[in-house]
């Protein structure tokens, strides 16, 4: 999908990893109506046959789109006609893709579902082929003439001004037709590092077995590692680490070469497209200043004493008398013998309470969503993993997939994804289709913000100090995992690219050394906050996101933005809330950095990152106050 069209079709698809599926079956309903806890895809297409008929029709329309090639510069009317035609087909193709994708996720084992999804992907490729001329043609027309056209056609301006501006930005980075053809033809080759990585890390990597203290034998694949690294028994989690990481270390060289190739490819793209460096290339699509990325890294480094404070607190709470170790990071800092349970009805009620702060318009959309059949809630055999919101079907409504386990993590995921859903509803009621595709930066601020507000709410409503500490601990982990960990990844990625850009070389061994230095810095090895064992410094080889370009930093910046918004809404009330809602309503009508700015946040300044560090310190103040009270009463 080219970037000019990508925004609308990628409208906030957010995936959160979740534990594997439990095995309670959801039987199909006899009359085609959905079961309780099941979404109703008939709002998209009444039957699979109706989908097929629409597919044939839209495919024909897509085939005909190159009839508009060379017409855009003729007149404002001709430009509007061509862009509208493309947009209309794109909208319908996206709706087809949404249905195919959701249907496939109901049961990933069904061949007909897989084939439908393949068809939708082919339609996407066809759209790409049939509109590949579009951006070069707009660039050829030039900004001056485009602005004249917009002045003459209010409709053109209303629907397409942002997309036109976004296409024109690419002028210095688009190559000759011949060069673009060569790069496009090499696309499959460029996708190989990720494929090779995935083949090895998710497929062929030998999975060692470990015997836990209670005699349980576990084959340590990625899912088992995620589960057992949280073991309450310290010897068990050490054993899990000591067994899991050597399996990666054995392929240190291969992982290193694969990731080096990925980095080289990104450096190559930046060079041939006339970007000063690969970071500038990566942040260009969102028109995000490089300064935001660099400020994020600088500010996370400045806040490391806050992270170290958390690690010391963790050590004390876990009763560890020697050094805290990297395998002590995932065990819950405060656990409860019977952690609270939340049904979906509970989650809805809590979400409505938590989101009071956003005012009546937000709440009425949330209620509208809960009243609809938009959710696929419970795990069942064959269902896709994780959780997401898909709001790409502009004329319909968002759909949400969960694998609800009724625990706090599920509740947190619930408010996260509904944050995306309400964002989509606010956007679609305000923006034309063409401006509905919002960026991840804004999207994750809306959703992570909900998770932070939920955490505040649960702390405030806890029944006793033990429960309060349980939630405060969860709040701290959310910040460590989303802010510090992702920023450490971001810093690592930046370092890798800079090595290649300066003409240096990389290897698995070198990467492990670089990663070790970062782990020690972030986790305070020299400050005595944690002792980092070099055996675990192969962790970089476990992170698939390094093959998605500069990607992970968006979550960290979004969380910082959400922290500043939460403070502003708490202190200022309605004016700050209205700025936040206006930002959500703006959808994809402007660049995310500008939208933040209009809402009062400068993501290139220290303020958002300071707000997040302050929040983390406030959580720790609360824990220490409870601990001090405990100390006195003993």
Residues noted as catalytic? 417
Number of residues counted as binding Zn ion (CB under 5 A): 2
SS (H, E, C) 384-424: CCCEEEECCCCCCCCEEECCCCCCHHHHHHHHHHHHHHHHH
According to CB under 5 A, which residues from 146 to 205 bind Zn ion?
Answer: none
Give the nearest distance from C-beta 439 to Zn ion in angstroms.
Answer: 12
The span of 55-63, 336-344, 443-451, 493-501 binding Zn ion (CB under 5 A) equals 443-451
Pick from 14, 123, 307, 426 the residue near Zn ion by CB under 5 A: 14
Pick from 113, 260, 427, 447 the residue near Zn ion by CB under 5 A: 447
- Residue 231 or 556: the one with the smaller Cβ distance to Zn ion is 556
**Residue 508: both structure tokens together:** 């698995």
Distance CA 93, CA 606 (A): 42
Give the nearest distance from C-beta 284 to Zn ion in angstroms.
Answer: 23
Give the nearest distance from C-beta 237 to Zn ion in angstroms.
Answer: 28
Distance CA 546, CA 548 (A): 6
Q: Determine contact, residues 363/355, Cβ cutoff 8 Å.
A: yes
- Across the beta sheet with 399-401, what order do the strands follow? 375-376, 399-401, 388-390
Q: Is 531 helix (H, G, I), strand (E, B) or coil?
A: strand
The span of 12-20, 65-73, 287-295, 493-501 binding Zn ion (CB under 5 A) equals 12-20
Distance CA 367, CA 353 (A): 11
Question: Which of 308, 310, 306, 280 lies closest to 293 in space, CA to CA?
Answer: 280
- Residue 383 or 420: the one with the smaller Cβ distance to Zn ion is 420
- Residue 68 or 358: the one with the smaller Cβ distance to Zn ion is 358
DSSP 483: I
Give the nearest distance from C-beta 555 to Zn ion in angstroms.
Answer: 8
- Residue 421 or 506: the one with the smaller Cβ distance to Zn ion is 421
- Residue 5 or 448: the one with the smaller Cβ distance to Zn ion is 448
Give the nearest distance from C-beta 559 to Zn ion in angstroms.
Answer: 11
Q: How many whole angstroms from its chain centre is CA 54?
A: 31
According to CB under 5 A, which residues from 99 to 118 bind Zn ion?
Answer: none
Give the nearest distance from C-beta 446 to Zn ion in angstroms.
Answer: 8
Residue nearest to Zn ion (CB): 14
Residues 360-399 vs Zn ion: string with x where CB under 5 A?
A: ----------------------------------------
Question: Which of 609, 599, 522, 605 lies closest to 558 in space, CA to CA?
Answer: 609
The span of 72-80, 138-146, 440-448, 537-545 binding Zn ion (CB under 5 A) equals 440-448
Asked if residue 558 binds Zn ion (CB under 5 A), the reply is no
- Residue 427 or 447: the one with the smaller Cβ distance to Zn ion is 447
**Residue 397: both structure tokens together:** 């409504």
The span of 131-139, 218-226, 327-335, 445-453 binding Zn ion (CB under 5 A) equals 445-453
Residue 608, classified by CB atoms within 10 Å of its CB into exposed (0-12), middle (13-18) or buried (19+), is: buried
Give the nearest distance from C-beta 387 to Zn ion in angstroms.
Answer: 9
The span of 102-110, 446-454, 514-522, 566-574 binding Zn ion (CB under 5 A) equals 446-454
Give the nearest distance from C-beta 163 to Zn ion in angstroms.
Answer: 24
Distance CA 333, CA 326 (A): 14
- Residue 347 or 447: the one with the smaller Cβ distance to Zn ion is 447
- Residue 11 or 14: the one with the smaller Cβ distance to Zn ion is 14
Give the nearest distance from C-beta 136 to Zn ion in angstroms.
Answer: 33
Q: Is 604 helix (H, G, I), strand (E, B) or coil?
A: coil
Distance CA 537, CA 513 (A): 7
Distance CA 632, CA 468 (A): 18
**Residue 595: both structure tokens together:** 């939208």
**Residue 436: both structure tokens together:** 């509905």
The span of 14-22, 135-143, 355-363, 591-599 binding Zn ion (CB under 5 A) equals 14-22
Distance CA 334, CA 467 (A): 9
The span of 9-17, 225-233, 481-489, 523-531 binding Zn ion (CB under 5 A) equals 9-17
Cα→Cα distances 476→313, 400, 482, 529, 624, Å: 11, 27, 10, 16, 13
Given the DSSP bridges, would you call strands 375-376 and 399-401 parallel, antiparallel or unpaired? parallel
Helix and strand counts by DSSP (H, E) for the chain: 27, 5
Distance CA 263, CA 284 (A): 17
DSSP 547: G
Instruction: For residue 47, give every residue at least 6 positions away whose Cβ sits within 8 Å of its Cβ, in sequence order, or none.
Output: 32
- Residue 14 or 568: the one with the smaller Cβ distance to Zn ion is 14
Q: Backbone phi, then psi, for 503, in 5-degree steps? A: 85, 10
User: Contact positions toward Zn ion, by CB under 5 A?
Assistant: 14, 447
């Amino acid at each position: 999908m080219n970037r000019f069209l990508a925004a609308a079709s990628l409208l906030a698809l957010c995936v959160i990893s979740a534990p594997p599926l439990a095995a309670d079956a959801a039987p199909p309903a006899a009359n085609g109506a959905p079961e309780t806890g099941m979404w109703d895809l008939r709002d998209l297409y009444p039957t699979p046959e109706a989908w097929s008929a629409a597919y044939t029709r839209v495919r024909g329309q897509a085939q005909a789109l190159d009839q508009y090639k060379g017409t855009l510069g003729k007149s404002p009317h001709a430009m509007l006609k061509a862009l509208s035609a493309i947009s209309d087909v794109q909208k319908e193709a996206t709706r087809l893709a949404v249905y195919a994708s959701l249907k496939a996720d109901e049961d990933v084992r069904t061949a007909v579902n897989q084939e439908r999804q393949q068809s939708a992907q082919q339609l996407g490729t066809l759209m790409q082929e049939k509109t590949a001329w579009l951006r070069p043609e707009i660039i050829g027309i030039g900004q001056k003439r485009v602005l004249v056209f917009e002045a003459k056609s209010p409709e053109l301006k209303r629907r397409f001004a942002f997309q036109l501006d976004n296409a024109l930005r690419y002028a210095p980075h688009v190559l000759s037709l011949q060069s673009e053809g060569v790069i496009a033809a090499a696309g499959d080759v460029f996708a190989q590092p990720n494929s090779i990585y995935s083949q090895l890390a998710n497929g062929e990597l030998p999975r060692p077995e470990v015997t836990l203290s209670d005699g349980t034998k576990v084959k340590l694949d990625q899912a088992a590692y995620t589960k057992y690294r949280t073991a309450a028994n310290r010897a068990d989690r050490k054993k899990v680490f000591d067994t899991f990481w050597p399996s990666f270390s054995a392929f240190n060289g291969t992982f290193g070469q694969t990731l080096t190739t990925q980095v080289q490819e990104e450096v190559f793209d930046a060079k041939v497209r006339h970007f000063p460096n690969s970071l500038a290339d990566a942040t260009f699509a969102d028109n995000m200043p490089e300064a935001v990325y660099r400020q994020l890294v600088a500010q996370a480094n400045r806040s490391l004493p806050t992270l170290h404070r958390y690690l010391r607190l963790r050590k004390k709470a876990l009763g560890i008398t020697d050094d805290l170790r990297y395998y002590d990071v995932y065990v819950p800092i405060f656990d409860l013998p019977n952690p609270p349970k939340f049904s979906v009805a509970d989650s809805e009620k809590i979400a409505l309470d938590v989101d009071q702060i956003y005012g009546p318009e937000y709440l009425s959309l949330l209620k509208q969503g809960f009243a609809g059949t938009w959710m696929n809630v419970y795990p069942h055999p064959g269902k896709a993993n994780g959780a997401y919101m898909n709001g790409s079907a502009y004329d319909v409504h968002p759909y949400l997939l969960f694998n609800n386990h009724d625990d706090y993590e599920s509740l947190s995921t619930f408010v996260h994804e509904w944050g995306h859903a309400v964002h989509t509803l606010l956007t679609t009621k305000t923006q034309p289709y063409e401006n509905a595709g919002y960026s991840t930066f804004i999207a994750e601020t809306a959703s992570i913000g909900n998770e932070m507000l939920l955490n505040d709410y649960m702390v405030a409503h806890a029944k006793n100090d033990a429960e309060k500490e349980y939630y405060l601990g969860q709040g701290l982990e959310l910040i460590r995992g989303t802010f510090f960990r992702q920023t450490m990844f971001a810093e690592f990625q930046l370092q890798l690219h800079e090595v290649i850009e300066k003409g240096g070389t990389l290897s698995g061994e070198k990467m492990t050394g670089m990663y070790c230095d970062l782990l020690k810095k972030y986790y305070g090895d020299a400050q005595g906050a944690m002792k980092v064992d070099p055996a675990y410094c192969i962790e970089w080889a476990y992170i698939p996101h390094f093959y998605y370009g500069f990607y992970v930093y968006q979550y960290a910046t979004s969380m910082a933005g959400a922290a500043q918004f939460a403070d502003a809404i708490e202190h200022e009330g309605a004016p700050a809330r209205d700025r936040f809602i206006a930002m959500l309503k703006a959808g994809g009508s402007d660049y995310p950095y500008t939208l933040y700015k209009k809402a009062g946040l400068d993501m290139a300044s220290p303020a958002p990152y300071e707000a997040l560090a302050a929040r983390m310190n406030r959580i720790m103040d609360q824990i220490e106050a409870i601990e001090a009270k405990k100390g006195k009463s003993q």
